[in-house]
Structure formats: structure tokens, C-alpha cells
Structure 1
Amino acid sequence: MLAGNMQRAILMAIFLFATFSLAAPADESKAEGTELGQLSNEANPAGSGSGAPQRVFDFKITPDMKTEDLDNPKSALSKLISFIVKGASKASRYVAIVGPKTPTPEIKLRILDNSIFVPGGGPPQLGFRRTDVNPAIDKTTTLSGITTWYQTIRLASDAPLSLEHGYLLASIEGPTGDHVFDIFCGSDFDAKNYEHKPSSNSKTIRVRDWSTKTLLELPLVYDQNYNFAITVDWDKNTLTVYSSTGTDPLKMASGPMANDPKAMSPDVRQKGEYHIQLIKFPLADKKTPADKVGDVPHFGFQPPIKREHVFFSNVFVTSGKEIEQPKFTAPKTKKVKACKRT
């Protein structure tokens, strides 16, 4: 297992090498029960009560939105997005809108062999295969007070992940590259695992804190919706995790748990970025120089990708002590399948 300091170094590298280019769009021509434990049964409450949740960001897909809108910076869909971290091709090659006219449309993120991000002024991230969507949040309202971050994640059996790798699925990143929280699945990176054996927790999906400590761990099952709501108390520096699967209502699963004090430092507060993402970590490679083994964005082994993608829905943020109870719907897919591929 990678030591805690190397984990944090990896997360810092992820953020720093992405941030270099976030000031401007990518140039396509250059590269291919507690006080937080209250639940609201309303799908979108008015928020007039003292603790009632109010949506302060909503990645709402409307029936008229389509995948091609991702390539038009003036489209309503593009205005929901601050930036897309991707490979050389146009955005619609890696991100798609699925079922915009259904009750719960999904955002599909996929990675390809050319999903190699080239930050502005930096070297290509040859260690990763990645696609990130950074929703256009208002940092003043979403990164202060008490806010809850909702996302439904679905993995598909027709695009099984290679679970000897690790996959980062969602996060709030601070300027240091550390995560206030993240959602991760697959294996933890081990720089000495030259046999590429999956870690013992590879067939799970996990919610983790700033120090990558696991707050919630669930068995990884394909064709099933995982509903997560993570409450961040930006004043008390605590995390509370709510979760469910399928159409079941959210229930408290962990917390409130104290986060690392660094998560609330002046350098982090109201300066973070929210990501829904599919970042595939590399495997250990004996060819990597000794002083670069922790530089996973740029070094490591990546075999060819057959087909890998992930679906997101119910992506929004609320403010307030109460937790919104979304009306979840079941995907029209095959029966859920236990994870078998490693």
C-alpha cells in the first residue's frame, strides 16, 4: 500500500497539472441522526425554513440538451461546466448526455487510449487515462456554511473496469491537490506491486476524507445506481456520508467525522474545485526512475483500454442542515451483476 504522504503527493500532482490549463479552454489543435442527520422528503424544497436544503448548484440536464452541445462553448450545457479535462479530441468524444428526455438523464464519461491530458505549459500526463468534468459551482455559496454534495454513480457491465487499477470518480480538490473528500474504486496504488495484483479492497467503492481514510465502503456491483450525498460542515470541519443503492432513500452511513484540519485552512476554503471524473491510475512499472515512482500522473504502466466508462446523474449541491431526499429512478439496464473483472 502506498504510504499516506505518497497518496497526498499523488493527489497534489493530479490537481496541479490540471490547474495549469483551467484558466482557458483547451486548444483542440494542439493535442488529441445528529444536527446534520435530518432528511427532507421534497425533491426540490423551497428552502424557506431555517434548516431546509436549498439547491445552490444543479447540473440539470434539460430535454433539449444533447451531446454535441459540449463542443459549443455558448450552449446552455457548456455553461454548466467550468472545464473538461480530457484527451486530444473534442469534448463529445469523451463525454455524452444519455437520455435527456427521461426522468433521470445521465452524464457519461469515458476514457480511451488517447485520454491523455496535456496541461498548458506542462508535459503530457502519460501515467493517467482521464476524463474530468468540473461543474461551474459558485464557490462562495457551495464552499461555505453547510453544504451537501449529491451524485449518483453507475458502472456498466458492458464496460467493466480493470480493478487492479484505481479509479477516482468524484472529489472536491483544494489548491494543494488534496481532496476534502473523494469517491474511489479499484485498487490502491502500490509502487512496488510489479505483479499488478489487485488490492484486497479492489472490488469496493469508497468515500474517503482528506487523508484518504475510508469513511464508507460498499461492494462494487455493475448496473446498479450508487447514490451518495456527502455533507461538508465548512465551519466545524466535519464530513457526514449518506448513501443508498437503486431507488432506496438516502440513509446516514458515516459521521459526522472530523476531517483533517488542513481541509479548512485559509488556503483551501472557498478555493476548491468539484469534479465528477474517471481517472484511471497506472500500474507499477519497473522502468520508472526511483525518484519518480510517486509521480503517477506521468509515470507507470497503462495497458490498452477495451471499453471503460461511468455514468453520473443527480449531480447537485444543497445548502442547509437538512438533507434533500431525491426521487431516485432505476436505470433501464440489465440485472445488477457482482464485479468479476480484475
Structure 2
Amino acid sequence: MHSSLMGLVAAAAAVVATAVPRPPHSHAVAGTGAVKCPLVFDGRVKAATELSDFDSYGTSLFNPDYVKGQSLKWSDIIKFPASAGSARFDDAAQHKPFEVTISDSSIFQTQKGFRRAGLQFQGDTNNDSPATKGIKTIHFSVKWDAQRALNLSHEYLNVWHEAADYSANQFNFEAGAILGQSGLARDTWKVLDRKNKQIWSTPILKTDWQNFAITLDFNKNTLQVYYSKGDDALKSVTSAVSNDNSGGGQYQIGILKKPTGTSDVVNAGYQESRLNEGLIYGSLFIEDSASACISL
């Protein structure tokens, strides 16, 4: 090849290689659905992972200390469902689904009104997190567990982003009876904005994986929701709606079950005893959606 042409080819390759910088956590993975964008946090559990791996900083993808019952380890909380199948962005040869459960012991600190177990990505710091800058998309798939069914007469937070001062959540992905909003259907997955206004919902399916993505634009203060079921490609189900994404904070993935019968939901209210509830998760990751990049 002529030397000048070779130089042009090399220069073009360099531009392509540097056009979308990939942070250290990034790697594209082929599976039922392929991740197309740089990864900020990868919460897809490796196929060889043991329950005890969730208890150590050296082996867990998540913070082993938060947010859970004080007497519990994550290996007491997490289950590996045998027959859930693979979620859309999980490669069955590399990843496996996991289930977050709650019990009577799922009391965090002194919050006796709640039953909660919320995973936080390692590195997702309460202040100045890399996942609260620019444009980021959190992906997750959920599957109902009939053996540990949620009681939809309660309100459940299942994926949410809590501001650094704990005063509000920038968004909530929820199920059940939303307190103070009796007009909303109970048996739906709902996305609520910072003002706790529902911006979208879909019926809870009892047999299929349901796939979600929420894009947070921290520059323009918007959020946008994507959805599909089974192995279908994600599609936008909202526009980029206005939302206050300020205040830093961290993502949580799991279950926060609110009580009934009280105005002080943190500290009081009714919760059933002998609690055994759970939700199955897969395809969990946060990607960098700069330049409108999103894995569908």
C-alpha cells in the first residue's frame, strides 16, 4: 500500500478508536442483546458467582455493607433462581439472574416502618459519582417470583435514585399501591419522577422477563423511559420529560416495602409477619449515553 494511503488509514482508525472513550469498567458483551455503549457500572452477576461473594468488597459488584437489615449478610438475602432463564442483556454462558428478598429481619438501622434490601454499585459514591454526570442510562430486567410474590396492597420501590442528602429520589421504579395516589393501578410497574408523579406504567407480567431502561440527562434535567418484554428490543415509551436530577446520590436496586396504616412510613405502620418476598433481576448495568448512545 502507498505510504500516504497507509497514513490516512491509520489516522482514520485512530479517530474511530478514540471517538467514544471507554471507561475502565467498559467492555461490550454479546448475548441475547448486545451492550453498545461504554459501561459505567456493570451489575450483571457472573455465572460462577457464589452467594458468599456478595459479602466481600473483593468479590462483590455491590457494596456489601448497604442497604440491608443490620443482622443480615447479603448471602442471606440474595437467591439464585434456578428456572428464571436469561434476561435480554445477559449472556447465559457468562451471567445468571439473581433475586433480592425481604424478610422480617429486613430492617435498616432504625427504620422499623420499612422492609428493605437495596443493592448499591461499588464505586457509586453518594457525592460526585460517575453515574450522576452527563447522560447516563440504567438498565434492568425484572421477573415475578410466584413463590415470593409481592403484596401489591403495599407500595414497593424496586429501582430508585436517592439524592445525597436523602431528602428525595430523582426517580422511582415502583409497584403496588402508591401511598396517597389511590387512582393508580396496583398491578403495574410504574416510573415516578422527583415529584412522585407517575410518568409511565405497564402491567406486571407474571411469567415473562420485563426489560427497562431509564436515561437521566443531568445536563438538561430530563428522564426518558424504555421498555420491552421477553427478548424484544427496547423501545422508547416516553419522550425526554422534564425532571429535577440535581443533588447527587446513589442508585439502589432491590426492594423497599412501605407499611400501611400510618403517616410515618419510615418508623411505624403495618407489615405482615413471616415475610418472604422477592423480585428477580437481570441485565443490570449503567451505560454512558453521551451522543445519544443507548443499547436497545
* TM-score between the two structures when normalised by the length of structure 1: 0.68
Aligned twin of 1:93: 76
Q: Is the 8 A contact 1:83 1:135 kept in 2?
A: no
Q: 1:182 aligns to what SS in structure 2?
A: strand
CA distance 1:322–1:226, shift in 2 (3 Å):
same
Task: After superposition, give the CA deviation of every residue in 1:28-57 in whole Å (9 maximum; x if it has no partner).
Answer: xxxxxxxxxxxxx97133xxxxxxx21111
2: CA distance, partners of 1:136 / 1:168: 20
2:161 to 172, 184, 190: 172
- Equivalent residues of 2:54, 2:64 under 8 A apart: no
In the aligned structure 2, how far is the partner of 1:180 from the partner of 1:307?
29
Matches within 5 A, 1:299-310: 299-310=268-279
The 3 A distance-change label for structure 1 pair 82 and 67 is closer
1:67 is the counterpart of 2:51: yes
**Contact kept? 2:129, 2:250, Cα under 8 Å:** no
Q: Does 1:256 align with 2:245?
A: no
Q: TM-score, normalised by structure 2?
A: 0.77
**Contact 1:82–1:135, Cα closer than 8 Å, also in 2:** no
Q: Which runs of 5+ in 1 are unaligned?
A: 1-40, 46-52, 119-123, 192-197, 286-292, 326-342
1:1-342 to 2 correspondences below 5 Å: 43-45=34-36, 53-71=37-55, 73-77=56-60, 79-81=61-63, 83-87=65-69, 88-98=71-81, 102-103=92-93, 104-118=95-109, 124-138=110-124, 139-177=128-166, 178-190=168-180, 200-260=184-244, 263-264=245-246, 268=247, 271-285=248-262, 293=263, 295-319=264-288, 320=290, 321-325=292-296
| CA-CA distance at 1:225 after TM superposition | 1.3
* Cα distance, 1:218 vs structure 2: 0.6
Structure 1: how far apart are the matches of 2:165 and 2:269? 22
> Secondary structure of the residue that 2:191 maps to in structure 1?
strand
In structure 1, C-alpha distance between the alignment counterparts of 2:48 and 2:215, rounded to whole Å: 31
Q: CA deviation at 1:303?
A: 1.7
Distance 1:142 1:200 in 2: 30
Cα distance in 2 between the residues matched to 1:81 and 1:117: 15
Residues 155, 243 of structure 1: CA spacing in aligned structure 2 closer, same or farther, 3 A cutoff? same
Pair member with larger Rg: 2
Q: Do 1:240 and 1:256's aligned partners in 2 also have CA atoms closer than 8 Å?
A: yes
What is the aligned-residue RMSD (CA, Å)?
A: 2.3
SS at match of 1:212: coil
